[in-house]
Chain A
Amino acid sequence: MREYKIVVLGAGGVGKSALSVQFSQGIFLDSYDPTIEDSYRKQVDVDGRPCMLEILDTAGVEQFTAMRELYIKNGQGFLLVYSVTDRSSLLELSKLYEQVCRIKGTKTVPIVLAGNKCDLAHARTVPFQEAKHLAHKWGTNSFYETSARTGVHVSDIFVDVVRQIQRRDSASSSSNASTHSASRVPTPTEKHRHTHSAASTIGGSETDRRRSSKRSSGKHSEAGLSTTYSKHKQKKKKAGGMCVIL
């Protein structure tokens, strides 16, 4: 079984470890032992293929930058987590994103931006669109608002990053780089998508980097997005049973 090393990055206190626990354990347990061997390993089916995910979480060692670099160096996909209740945690992600790109030596790294604690509506300080802009600046549509408490989009972010890794792998193994459209994999079904008021403009999370890099970060229009959205809808139909979300 193919193993995927997913690195979870973000400032302390954004609840990123709760996301890892929620994902690897399935539910919020009464009793969770973080010291045992397979605490952060989880097997999931992505599009019918079993994958083993090893989650590397910098929880508690955010300060020890040298250690973080080691994690990044070994990671294949990255979850960048901030808290919707803490604006500074979003700002810190830019530095982390740069570090990931620098260490990986490329800007096309499998990456997902996740705004955690979205269940705390009353304490929200980061609007949905602001983070979405940032994701576009990074050239990705893979942005979700999550809640480790309620489980919203928790598995989606991990599945999304695995898909991105798979896509990158197949793209690099393919001799013709232009076949990217063939290797594009359907994204999570619509009902799993965010139900924010702006839901209609969110669109799919296909990370067609060429397309998004063409769109300048400021200019992405509603129309452009809804095109993606409708395309996504068609794809979804085709994907049907392939899309296995835990």
Chain B
Amino acid sequence: MATDGIHSIFPPQERNYVAYYPFLRATHSFNPAVLESPVAGGCLDFVAGDLILLHSIHATGWGDGTSLSTNKRGWIPSNYCEPYDIPQVRPLLVAILNALVNPRADDGRSSQVAVTTIVSGVRNLLDGTDCLTRDSPLVRETEAINKSRRALLAEVSALVSCVKRQPPDHSISEDLVHRAHRVLVCAAAFLDTLDLDEYSYLPSPPPAEYTFETGSSVDGGGFAGPSLTFEYQPVSALARLNFLYDAALVCLGSFLNSSYVDTRAPAKLLLTTRRAAHACRELLAVVETVSSRASPIVYSLEEAKEAMYDRITAIVTAARDVVAAQCIENNGPESLLTESQNLIDAIVACVRTAGLCLAKAKYVLDRVGDFELEIDRRYLDYQLRSQLGESRRSSSKSESSYGMTAATSLDDEPWNLAPVSVSLPSDIEPEFKGKKTRTPLQDRIVFNADGQVQGGSLEALVKQLTANNAAPDALFVSTFFLTFRLFTTSTALAQALVHRFSSLSPDEPNVLAVRLRVYNALKGWMESHWRMETDNEAIPIIVDFAHGSLKSMLPFASARLLDLSKKVVDCDKPLVPRSMSKLGIDTSLGILLPDSSSVPTPIVNKLHLAIVARYVREGELPPSILDFDPLELARQVTVKESRLFCKIVPEELLGQEFSKKAGKSTAVNVKAMSSLSTDLANLIGESILAGDVPLKVRMNIIRHWIRVAEKCLELKNYNCLMAIACALQSSVILRLKKTWELLPPRYHSLFAELKGIIVYEKNYASYRTLLRNTSTPCIPYLGVYLTDLTFADEGNSDFRTFHPDMEDSSPIINFDKHVRTTKIIADLQRFQVPYRFQEVPELQAWLDVEIQRVHDMYLEDQHVLYRRSCMIEPKAGGTQAYGGIGAGIDVSAVTEGVSWSEERASG
């Protein structure tokens, strides 16, 4: 799982290690100050050449990393870095990772063992670079190498002496980790002085986008180290089209070179063919996306596209013929010459067709306008898979998705064409699956154009969660674990995961990665998403699994799951809390805000506080609302609301839990917050209608609340702003025409402005825009979330059909519904950051007392404010306008009102 941190799924095998890149090297310096954002404080400051340990990476390309030189942790832009992975240093990297980053209590390693492996890693490094002894020629001759070698050895001895000072079997200390990091930093510096060809980094402008590997193709001999290409910045279709066209030309060009020069090296030829095919397919994928937007269909583009597919097929076929001809030696050189000529012709034709494709695609873009390609993780997947030689995929998939007949002919080759790489037009998506047979349960999954899962069977969703090609997307994982109880049961989920693990065949690609992801899914579930009351049922299945097949294959994983299963059964809080707001980078930075901002001093008057305190204690002489400073009142209400708001947990917001009746609902915090808003609105109404006061005083109270609302806006407490706006617009207040007439025009316009902040028109469009650009701390108006969540729940069905137009129309889980819900919840969580205000106990107590008093009053009689309002400014038309609902309120209102005012007067 993406948010889980890389090290947890990090196996000791080197091959998989390469795939996850936990060590990065900065290719450019980065200063967070340039972000000009208040959240820059959470970012790591680094210079080019710094080594960074990557803990996790977010889909935006931001990663959570620790700088090995400074030992500080923070956010890093991953496009400023590249993976640090040189063959000579690899054993050291593995040693450091396994021993320190991922210490496992169960594998019995002590810190001494850890240090021993690190030392042996360093020895390995020196050995691999012919610098093991001081007398080696390289060390003797080059002073710089000698110096950096000495520095490295000094760090190693410091590490060794550090571990010697500790008692044996002592757990790994911070200091030790830091020293191990220092060893790696020195090792990197040492390698730099060696100036290895494999790793020479030159400062260049920060990479903005995709890097396509073309340069080294001529020298062949296997792929160079994979490059870290996080294609996360949105790229315009036109830019990418141009870029890929160039890349394809370079590939095809280098192809021509190498086939002319040396047709006798089949490996090299195959490699070049594969590159060329990749480049062309990437280009075609973008062309597909462009053509899907053309309406009506541009036939010349469709033709060019089809031709391009044929050309690629022709190249691949021709290359195979060349290789075959080489193998049959008795055919003589002439035959080989013919085959080579065919290949060259195919390449030339392909170059021409690629040009045609580009021209037609540009023509379409001119008409429909340039657009941004979907941000799609599959760019990266494509690269990794192809470069690690794991591109073997079922032929039916690539065949049907591209309509390529060549794919079958390629199937027996180790360099099978890469699968879908760029977002396919959505209408092609369903073509993934074979049409003739019923799709197996685990493959019933539907994606949208963005590559997001829209629906699937439980088996298919579990497969997606534990995919063999890439870690699942963070939003998918969060959604899955937050909402799975709405579409399945915990036992069914546990069984599906176990089945996924046990049904793997050993020759499936990346079988280890899938097994680790199954383990990881179970671990993530238990650590962060476990809910005792429903999930404990699944414990026996998980325990059986841990004792059974898991134990034989991944003993450490088995031990960890057994350990967790003991902990979760009676723990009602997540062991490792994880906020979904971490889905968005800026939001998690909000939480990391430095504590430097000072807490403002409360604006209070001691004398007034004493009056308030006496009122709370003895219930005498209520303080006038006018004596409270508007800002301080706004702050104290904000503190109160913020406390409730921050306590809201995602489960309260699922399945309309908050709409259930009080007492039956577990959404206690949401309920408390709604009821606080209602009480607050009633309190405001009551404060205006209370007592027998002159018109002017009543107007002053209204004015005072407008001021408080203004302060709420400044504090970004939209929930309270809404409560005040509603209260002042309620019929009981609004009908006090004479009072409102006294209000100075300035306040009329201020109030108009304030109530215009949150208006329901156009589905709260203006407020939504405002909120999108609001930073924390802020209390959003809760109602919009609740309405959205209700509609997301009621407006989207639980199931959808798999293939509506085909026989295979069995229902699958409508995962899209749950993604929508999760996104809304994640947006709410974004704001769950407390305010830094000082509570004034007297004011808090006063608020509590007043809220309770008004609450009780309202519970007893809902019409009390209406009657008071009618008393203050009687209806113009007497009793006939509103002809007595129920018990004839108007008449009784007047009589009761009179007696009430008489009471008041006499008392």
Contacts and interface: CB of A to CB of B under 8 A. Distances in A.
Interface stretch (A25-33, A128-136, A154-162, A217-225): A25-33
B5 to A, nearest CB: 31
Nearest to B787: A60
A39 B764 CA distance: 11
B789 interface: yes
Contacts of A17: 790-791, 794-795
Interface string B660-671: 100000000001
Given A12-B660, A64-B678, A37 B763 contact: yes
A101 B814 contact: no
B796 A29 contact: yes
B545 interface: no
B678 A25 contact: no
Contacts of B795: 17-18, 21, 25, 29, 32, 34
Contacts of B454: 30-31
B796 A30 contact: yes
B791 A21 contact: yes
Contacts of B785: 60
B760 A71 contact: yes
A39 B889 CA distance: 39
Interface string A13-27: 101011011000100
Contacts of A21: 791, 794-795
From B455, B722, B762, name the one whose CB has the most chain A CB atoms within 10 angstroms. Answer: B762
A98 B656 contact: no
Interface in A38-81: 38-41, 54, 56-67, 69-71, 73-74
A109 to B, nearest CB: 11
A66 B659 CA distance: 17
Interface centre among B726, B795, B797 (most CB of A within 10 A): B795
Contact of B882 (A13, A56, A106): A106
B783 interface: yes
Interface residues of B, number: 54
A32 B791 contact: yes
A37 B786 contact: no
Contacts of A32: 791-792, 795-796
Contacts of A181: none
Given A21-B795, A35-B824, A66-B681, A61 B786 contact: yes
Interface stretch (B244-252, B299-307, B727-735): B727-735
A177 interface: no
Nearest to B799: A30
A61 B783 CA distance: 6
A102 interface: yes
Contact of B678 (A20, A65, A74): A65
Interface in A106-131: 106-107
A180 B500 CA distance: 71
B443 interface: no
B885 interface: yes
A242 interface: no
B790 A98 contact: no
Given A39-B791, A59-B791, A66-B727, A33 B455 contact: no
Contacts of A107: 882-883, 885
A63 B674 CA distance: 6
A199 interface: no
A39 B783 contact: no
B820 interface: yes
A154 to B, nearest CB: 13
Contact of B797 (A30, A63, A106): A30
A105 interface: yes
B884 to A, nearest CB: 9
A34 B791 contact: yes
Interface centre among A59, A66, A105 (most CB of B within 10 A): A66
Interface string B64-78: 000000000000000
B757 to A, nearest CB: 13
A141 to B, nearest CB: 20
A63 B678 contact: yes
Nearest to B665: A12
A182 interface: no
A37 B674 contact: no
Contact of A60 (B448, B762, B789, B886): B789
A198 interface: no
Nearest to A88: B661
A38 B765 CA distance: 9
A56 B287 CA distance: 43
27 contacts: A17-B794, A25-B795, A29-B795, A29-B796, A31-B448, A32-B791, A36-B763, A38-B763, A39-B791, A57-B791, A59-B794, A60-B656, A60-B786, A61-B786, A62-B659, A63-B675, A64-B726, A65-B678, A66-B726, A66-B730, A67-B677, A67-B726, A69-B726, A73-B734, A98-B885, A107-B883, A107-B885
Interface of A: 12-13, 15, 17-18, 20-21, 25, 28-41, 54, 56-67, 69-71, 73-74, 98, 101-103, 105-107, 148
Given A12-B659, A37-B763, 12 more contacts: A12-B790, A25-B795, A30-B455, A31-B796, A33-B820, A54-B761, A59-B790, A60-B786, A60-B789, A66-B677, A66-B730, A106-B882
